[in-house]
Structure formats: structure tokens, C-alpha cells
């Protein structure tokens, strides 16, 4: 049943991508496929930038990049193998896109348990995640009928957040609370760069699975939602705190892109703008009020605030589609939370059995040997000293 389900999902997606181009007015099949080339690449681009969005912790910069590359290089080929070997899918442009969408979901989720897991364990996490993600993919697009989520509010964002929550709830890693998390000016400048480029690339993500004739419309709704959330986040932070916390603003300005995911192809530009306003307000409120409250209640730390940008705004995005798609949106949201939490919890329990990351929480010294790399003074180049860095 499950196998058949995922197969169907892939078939539907393939049909969406290629079938539609055949019937689409005036876009021949090869041209349509070539158009996907740069959009596929854009999603890889976004995956890399998600790493730099999380690069702000002074003692944990290179480790975020290394985690990202590990997650990418394990989960994508594993996803390809599962889909082609077990379910007979073809390794084509559409599977490339589906694979990197799966991987970017895990990179987002990892922001929640960053530093709480040993670096090599991301290999294990990737295998387990792909499995849980595939189940949710089947649930949303095969088990349920008529769900609106072309841009991944549920499939990607909400699932990432609740899988992450499952992991940290199972790990219950207290040491993360004692770890100093300072930033430097330029570490935050990298975050600005990543956030602003993610903002620009976002339509490639939300429209990746749309038919060619829907793409421009999806680009417009996505940018409208993003412009709204970026403006309203500034106003919210100014109103509440007088000063702008750059590590809230650079995240919350993206909330419109998260929330528009379910309705990207279903609403007009100014409705999208309204959805973006709601997304920005909700995300800021989550960062300022919900985040510390949940930390106190649950006793676990969402390191990057994934729940504030992806969790709640993702769920709300699904609910905004109720007037169009009906109650199936509620089922999709509830199911995603449950599958995410269970999948994450199982992963967390297995990780706990493999040993938590006790010595080097949020510290590059775990993976990279260096005398005092954080003084921002020069470190001798390993090849000159013969010392491994």
C-alpha cells in the first residue's frame, strides 16, 4: 500500500511536470524540461543558502556548512535509490527536484537540533528522515485527496519543524542551554546575505512543481507574500522592541514565502499580500513570545527558531487554503504534525542510543582541529605546519 502510494505520488508529480507541458499551449516538452533546469539548480542554491542563514553562531560556522553537505550528499542519492530501485521511478529532472526538496527539508529541520547531534550522525539522520518524509509525502498527496500544497507549506516547512521537534524532545539535550551562543558582526552579515538571496530565489521553490502556464502567476503571489512579510516584520519588531533584532528580522522576513506555499497557485496577488502580512505577524509573535514560552514548558531548545519561521507559518499556510480546498487541509496539517513528531522522535531515540553530542555542543572543534580559531586572529594553515587543522 505504502509502496504503491509513493509510486503514485511520483507518477502524479511526473504527470504534473511533464504531462502538463505536453498539453500546455506552445511549450514543447524539451523546452519545458530545460526550463526546469535552472529552477532545479535554484533549489540547490537555496539549500546551500539555508546553511548560511544558520551561520551566525560565533563558534559554530564551518560545522553548519559541513552538516549541510552531509545531509545533501546522503539524503538525495538515498531518495533517488528508494524511488528508482523500489518504486520504478525514472531518475529525470522531476526526480532531481523532488530529491533536493526532500534534502532542503532536512537541512531546515536540522536547524532545530544543531549541535545536539554529532556530525557523523547526520548520515544516520538522513536515512531515517528520507523514510519519514516519504511517508508524509505519500500521506499528503496519495492518501489524502485534493490537498492544496503546491509550494510545500506542509510537505516542507511544517514537516521540517515537527520532525525537528520530535528529535529534540527525544534527545532532551540540556547542555544546549549552557552553550554560549555569541555572534560576530560579519557572521550576521552572512545571514543577511543568505536571507536576502533566499527571498529572491523563493519563487523557484514554490513554483517548482507547477505547470509552465502557472509559473509566472506563482512567482507573483510568492513575491507579493514575501514583500508583505518583510515589511510587516520590520514594523512589528519596531513596535514591540523599538530596536530590530537582526536574527529575528532576517528570518521572519521570509515567512510570507513559507505561508504562501499552499495557495501559491490559487489566489490573486493582493490576497497573497494579505497572506504575507499574516505570516509576518505570526512569525514575529512566535519568535518573541511563543519561542521562550515553549522552551520553558517543554525544556528543549529549538536552536535556530525553526518552529517560528517554518512550523507555525507552515501550518497557517495550509489553513489559508481551506476556503478553496476544504477540510482536507486540516487533515493534512494534523497528519504532518503527527508524522513529523513520530518520525523525529524515533530518530531522536536512535540518536540517543548512538550517543549525544556532549563534548562539543555548537562548537566547530568537534569536526575541525584548531588551536584558537575563534579569536578571529590568523590560524596557521594546516598544510604549512603539517598539523591537521
Residues 327-356 that bind a second copy (CB under 8 A): none
Interaction of residue 20 with a second copy, rule CB under 8 A: no
Q: How far is the CB of 128 from a second copy (least distance, A)?
A: 17
Question: 308-347 burial, b if ≥16 CB within 10 A, otherwise e?
Answer: bbbbbbbbbbbebbbeebeebbebbbebbbebbbebbbbb
CB burial of 111-147 (b: ≥16 within 10 Å; e: otherwise) equals: bbbbbbbbbebbebbbebbbebbbbbbbbbbbbbeeb
Q: Are 320 and 271 in contact (CB under 8 A)?
A: no
- Kindly state the smallest distance separating residue 134's Cβ from a second copy, in Å: 18
Residue number with CB closer to a second copy (172 or 374) = 374
Whichever of 144 and 201 has its CB closer to a second copy, that residue is 201
- Per-residue binder mask for a second copy (CB under 8 A), 68-107, x = binder: xxx-xxx-xx--x----------xxx--x-----------
* Residue 371 lies near a second copy (rule: CB under 8 A): no
Q: Work out how close the CB of 326 gets to a second copy at its nearest, in angstroms, rounded to a whole number.
A: 28
Alpha-carbon dihedral angle through residues 86, 87, 88, 90, given to the nearest 10 degrees: -110
Q: Which is nearer to a second copy, 8 or 220 (CB)?
A: 220
From the list 58-66, 152-160, 257-265, 345-353, the region that binds a second copy by CB under 8 A is 58-66
Whole-number Å distance between alpha carbons of 38 and 210? 15
Single out the residue of 158, 167, 190 nearest to residue 306, CA to CA.
158
Of 4, 37, 289, 358, the one binding a second copy by CB under 8 A: 37
Minimum CB separation of residue 51 from a second copy in Å reads 7
Q: Which is nearer to a second copy, 192 or 349 (CB)?
A: 192
Please tell me whether residue 231 binds a second copy under the rule CB under 8 A: yes
> Among residues 14, 20, 131, 187, which is the contact residue for a second copy, using CB under 8 A?
187
* Cα–Cα dist 259/252, whole Å: 11
7, 131, 192, 352: which one contacts a second copy (CB under 8 A)?
Answer: 192
Minimum Å gap between C-beta 48 and a second copy is 4
Q: What is the 3-state secondary structure (H, E, C) of 287-319?
A: HHHHHHHHHHHHCCCCCCCHHHHHHHHHHHHHH
User: What part of residues 131-170 is at the interface with a second copy (CB under 8 A)?
Assistant: none
107-115, 146-154, 165-173, 230-238 -> range binding a second copy (CB under 8 A): 230-238
Of residues 277-296, those binding a second copy (CB under 8 A): 291-292
Question: Closest separation between CB of residue 265 and a second copy, Å?
Answer: 15
Phi/psi at 127 (nearest 5 deg)?
Answer: -60, -50
18 binds a second copy (CB under 8 A): no
Residue 388, Cβ density class (10 Å: 0-12 exposed, 13-18 middle, ≥19 buried)? exposed
Question: Does residue 57 bind a second copy (CB under 8 A)?
Answer: yes
User: Site for a second copy (CB under 8 A): which residue of 2, 86, 146, 189?
Assistant: 189
Cβ-in-10-Å burial (0-12, 13-18, 19+) of 378 comes to exposed
Number of residues forming the site for a second copy (CB under 8 A): 109
Q: Which residues contact 85 (CB under 8 A, 6 or more apart)?
A: none
Q: Confirm if 294 and 237 have CB atoms less than 8 A apart.
A: no
Shortest CB 376 distance to a second copy, Å: 6
Contact, 111 vs 310, CB < 8 A? no
Whether the CB-CB separation of 389 and 382 falls below 8 Å is answered with yes
238 touching a second copy, by CB under 8 A: yes
Give the residue with the Cβ less far from a second copy, 327 or 378: 378
Amino acid at each position: 500500500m505504502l509502496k504503491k502510494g509513493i509510486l503514485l505520488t511520483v507518477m502524479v508529480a511526473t504527470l504534473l511536470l511533464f504531462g502538463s507541458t505536453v498539453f500546455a499551449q506552445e511549450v514543447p516538452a524539451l523546452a519545458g524540461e530545460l526550463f526546469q533546469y535552472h529552477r532545479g539548480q535554484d533549489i540547490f542554491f537555496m539549500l546551500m543558502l539555508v546553511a548560511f542563514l544558520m551561520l551566525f553562531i560565533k563558534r559554530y560556522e564551518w560545522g553548519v556548512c559541513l552538516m549541510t553537505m552531509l545531509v545533501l550528499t546522503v539524503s538525495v542519492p538515498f531518495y533517488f535509490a528508494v524511488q528508482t530501485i523500489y518504486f520504478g521511478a525514472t531518475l529525470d529532472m522531476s526526480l532531481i527536484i523532488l530529491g533536493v526538496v526532500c534534502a532542503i527539508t532536512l537541512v531546515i529541520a536540522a536547524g532545530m537540533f544543531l549541535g545536539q547531534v554529532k556530525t557523523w550522525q547526520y548520515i544516520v539522520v538522513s536515512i531515517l528522515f528520507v523514510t519519514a518524509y516519504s511517508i508524509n509525502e505519500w500521506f499528503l498527496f496519495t492518501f489524502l485527496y485534493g490537498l492544496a500544497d503546491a509550494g510545500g507549506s506542509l510537505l516542507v516547512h511544517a514537516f521540517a519543524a515537527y520532525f525537528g521537534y520530535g528529535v529534540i524532545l527525544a534527545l532532551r539535550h540540556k547542555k544546549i542551554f549552557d552553550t554560549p551562543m555569541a555572534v560576530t558582526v560579519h557572521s550576521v552579515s552572512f545571514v543577511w546575505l543568505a536571507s536576502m538571496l533566499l527571498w529572491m530565489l523563493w519563487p523557484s521553490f514554490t513554483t517548482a512543481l507547477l505547470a509552465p502556464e502557472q509559473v509566472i502567476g506563482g512567482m507573483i503571489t510568492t513575491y507579493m507574500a514575501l514583500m508583505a512579510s518583510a515589511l510587516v516584520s520590520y514594523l512589528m519588531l519596531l513596535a514591540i522592541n523599538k530596536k530590530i533584532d537582526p536574527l529575528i528580522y532576517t528570518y521572519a522576513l521570509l515567512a510570507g514565502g513559507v505561508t504562501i506555499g499552499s495557495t501559491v497557485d490559487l489566489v490573486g496577488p493582493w490576497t497573497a499580500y494579505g497572506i504575507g502580512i499574516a505570516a509576518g505577524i505570526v512569525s514575529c509573535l512566535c519568535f518573541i513570545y511563543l519561542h521562550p514560552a515553549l522552551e520553558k514548558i517543554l525544556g528543549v531548545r529549538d536552536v535556530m527558531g525553526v518552529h517560528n519561521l517554518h512550523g507555525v507559518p507552515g501550518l497557517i499556510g495550509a489553513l489559508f487554503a481551506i476556503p478553496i480546498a476544504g477540510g482536507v487541509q486540516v487533515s493534512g496539517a494534523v497528519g504532518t504534525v503527527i508524522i513529523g513528531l513520530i518520525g523525529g522522535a524515533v530518530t531522536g531515540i536512535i540518536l540517543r542510543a548512538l550517543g549525544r553530542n556532549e563534548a562539543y555542543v555548537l562548537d566547530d572543534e568537534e569536526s575541525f582541529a584548531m588551536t584558537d580559531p575563534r579569536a578571529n586572529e590568523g590560524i596557521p594553515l594546516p598544510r604549512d605546519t603539517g598539523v591537521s587543522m
